[in-house]
Structure formats: C-alpha cells, structure tokens
C-alpha cells in the first residue's frame, strides 16, 4: 500500500471540506475494518459468556448526570422535555435486574455536549459508542475480571491482522512493532496509589514542562488531588509510562455519579474502577458496583442537586426491584484509537463530532 501521510488531514475541520476523500482513503478504510473486527470480537466474547444484547434506549426523561463537564442535549417530547442519552447506566441496571440471565450489554451511542476545551485532548467526542454491560449479583472486582478478559480477547484477535495494523501504525508515524502480549491479571492500583505516584513524578521539572506544553495547563502539579478525578493530562502521563493495560480503582466519593456504590465499611470510597490503555492512550473503560438501596441513592441525589422527580421511574424500580449489579462501558472509538495507535480519537469513526467543530 503506497500512501502519503499528508493525504489524511489531522484537523477534524477537514471532514467538512472533503469528507469522501478522507473516508475513502485506503488507510481510513483499514481503520474502519478494524473497528468492525473489534466489535465482532467483543460481541463474540460477550455472547459466549452468556450475555444478552439489547438495542439502546436513545431518549428518556433523564440521563446519566455523572459525566465530567459534559452537558445534556434536550429535545421537546409531546409537551415534555426529554434528554438524549449520555450513557445507558440507568437502563442497563434495570435490565440486568430484570433478565433471568442477569447479564446484558448494549452497543450504546452516547451524545454528550462536551466543553470546547475537551476537543483539544484528542480523546473526546460529542458522539461516540460505548460497549455497555451489566451483571447482576456481581461486584466491581468481578466485572474487572470480565473487562480484562474482554480486552485480552480483542487484542489477541487483532494480533491475527498485525501485518495490516503495521501499515496503519507506519502511516501515522507510530513506532509500535506489535500489540502487547497481555498477561492476566492486569496490574491494579488504587486511586490513592496512582495520585501518590504522580505526585512523585510531579517533582521532575521536565515532566511539568511536558504537560504544560502538551495540554496548555499551568502548574499541573497543583491539579492533583486525593479527593478528585485524575486530570486528563496526568491520566495521559500515567498511561504513557505503562507498557500494559492497567486498572485504577477505589475512587473517592464525589468523583463519580450517585449510582456508584460506596464500600459499606469504607465511607467515602467508591467500589469503582477505570481501565487504562498504555502508551498515552489513557482511559478505555469506567465501571463500578451500583448503588441499589433507594434511600442512599436519594440522599446522594440531594447532595449533588439532582431533581429526584426526574428519576421517578428509576427510584421506583430500585425501591421495588433493586438488586446488586456491577458493570462497565468501553469506549469503542478509544479502543480503536489504541489498537490502531491513532493520533486522535476522531480518526476512529467517519463523520466525527469533535467538541466545538462543525462537521458533516
């Protein structure tokens, strides 16, 4: 395959100028084929594990409020105001509790009105797909084990096509020679341990300079906290210094939505996790054990100024039928970005919607 690097513009605005020229490029066609192969590998794995697939619910009276900085899209709906789904968390909790199999999944399109500065990260889209799954009578450690086996399955399947992958890697200037031989169990570190490690690295002026230049943030060392999410720039750095995928778990209360369960014997610590790719690709997946005691959910809603009236159906479900569940979602575009070692997530789908960019 003889192609030139300049033939695929890196700027997402280019899709508005000549979208056909971009999506028909031989390398982009190969990226889309890998997206298809990855989706098939994931479906095959989940079906073999006894999961039932559902079509996604796209609109409802309320959606997941727990996304970092992303706003809702709202639409008029026969005299009421409905939301476009930012994730399927509420519905997958419902269906995992309802189905005899106790295991369900979606290929769930998400729509999130991300802040404009998220468009500069190379990791955020307004429109994307999550492979969203939920398991009844499971905790976060049990679904972490599913997540790592699922990721290993995808990587092992894509190794069969490494000759084609190398063409993609070479085209985009990657120095990668092969996908990793994933060893299970994956490395696990708590949120506290991750922040401690990053604070140690933050003592190096070269690290601070690199983050300031790459992400346009000032004094990134002051953005690290044991009580909050790990900032994007530090998540990238932590990912960059790893060669294998890894987990961060036990995030602090307040870092996630009301639906993530706290440890009964460790107040303030959530039973949740992120799965990160190596080589600077960052978060692939977030997951958690779900809060199912309606009194605790209601109290958390009050703390975060959520309107319980909008969640009436969800609270009624928890009160009458709530059961322990746990699950996670893997971002399809981020996974394609990692497998293909793309410079930006917008190259992982045709007609990408990047925050702040008007495109087809």
CATH number assigned to the domain comprising residue 125: 3.30.930.10
Distance (Å, whole) CA 324 – CA 289 = 8
Domain assignment present for residue 11? The answer is yes
Convert the pLDDT of each residue in 260-302 to its tens digit: 999 999 999 999 999 999 999 999 999 999 999 999 999 999 9
Distance (Å, whole) CA 49 – CA 43 = 10
Residue 83, φ and ψ in degrees, nearest 5: -115, 145
Residue 183, φ and ψ in degrees, nearest 5: -105, 125
Domain assignment present for residue 99? The answer is yes
Distance (Å, whole) CA 293 – CA 62 = 19
Report the largest interatomic distance among the alpha carbons of the chain, rounded to a whole angstrom. 62
Domain assignment present for residue 79? The answer is yes
pLDDT of residue 350: 94
Domain assignment present for residue 109? The answer is yes
Does the bond joining 185 to the residue before it have cis omega, within 30 degrees of 0? Answer: yes
Domain assignment present for residue 353? The answer is no
- On whether the CB atoms of residues 103 and 96 are closer than 8 A, the answer is yes
SS3 66: coil
Which of 275, 245, 271, 237 is CA-nearest to residue 256? Answer: 271
pLDDT string in tens for the chain (360-residue length): 444 555 787 788 888 888 999 999 999 999 999 999 999 999 999 999 999 999 999 999 998 886 566 788 999 999 999 999 999 999 999 999 999 999 999 999 999 888 887 777 788 899 999 999 999 999 999 999 999 999 999 999 999 999 999 999 999 999 999 999 999 999 999 999 999 999 999 999 999 999 999 999 999 999 999 999 999 999 999 999 999 999 999 999 988 889 999 999 999 999 999 999 999 999 999 999 999 999 999 999 998 888 999 999 999 999 999 999 999 999 999 999 999 999 999 999 999 999 999 989
Structural domain span for residue 167:
5-179+325-348
Tokens read off for 108: 């769930």
Number of domains forming the structure of the chain? 1
- On whether the CB atoms of residues 89 and 259 are closer than 8 A, the answer is yes
Domain assignment present for residue 259? The answer is no
SS3 277: strand
Domain assignment present for residue 35? The answer is yes
Domain assignment present for residue 64? The answer is yes
Which of 336, 331, 294 is CA-nearest to residue 315? Answer: 294
């Amino acid at each position: 395959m003889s192609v030139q690097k300049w033939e695929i513009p890196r700027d997402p605005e280019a899709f508005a100028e000549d979208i056909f020229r971009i999506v028909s490029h031989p390398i982009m066609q190969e990226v889309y084929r890998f997206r298809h192969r990855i989706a098939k590998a994931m479906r095959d794995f989940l079906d073999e594990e006894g999961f039932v697939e559902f079509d996604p619910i796209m609109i409802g009276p309320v959606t997941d409020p727990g996304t970092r900085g992303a706003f809702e899209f709202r639409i008029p709906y026969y005299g009421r105001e409905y939301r476009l789904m930012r994730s399927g968390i509420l519905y997958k909790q419902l269906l995992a509790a309802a189905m005899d199999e106790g295991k369900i999944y979606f290929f769930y399109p998400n729509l999130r009105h991300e802040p404009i500065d998220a468009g500069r990260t190379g990791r955020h889209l307004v429109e994307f797909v999550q492979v969203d799954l939920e398991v009844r009578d499971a905790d976060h450690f049990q679904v972490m084990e599913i997540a790592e086996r699922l990721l290993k399955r995808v990587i092992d399947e894509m190794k069969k096509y490494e000759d084609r992958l190398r063409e993609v890697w070479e085209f985009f200037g990657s120095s990668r020679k092969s996908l990793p031989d994933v060893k299970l169990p994956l490395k696990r570190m708590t949120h506290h341990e991750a922040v401690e490690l990053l604070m140690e690295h933050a003592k190096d002026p070269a690290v601070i300079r690199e983050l300031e230049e790459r992400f346009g943030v000032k004094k990134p060392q002051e953005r690290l906290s044991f009580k909050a999410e790990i900032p994007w720039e530090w998540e990238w750095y932590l990912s960059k210094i790893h060669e294998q995928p890894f987990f961060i778990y036990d995030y602090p209360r307040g870092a996630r939505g009301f639906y993530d369960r706290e440890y009964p014997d460790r107040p303030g610590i959530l039973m949740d996790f992120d799965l990160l790719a190596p080589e600077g690709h960052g978060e692939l997946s977030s997951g958690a054990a779900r809060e199912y005691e309606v009194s605790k959910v209601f109290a958390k809603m009050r703390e975060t100024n959520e309107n319980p009236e909008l969640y009436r159906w969800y609270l009624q479900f928890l009160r009458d039928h709530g059961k322990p569940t746990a699950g996670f979602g893997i971002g399809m575009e981020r996974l394609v970005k990692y497998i293909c070692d793309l410079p930006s997530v917008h190259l992982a789908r045709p007609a990408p919607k990047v925050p702040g960019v008007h495109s087809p």
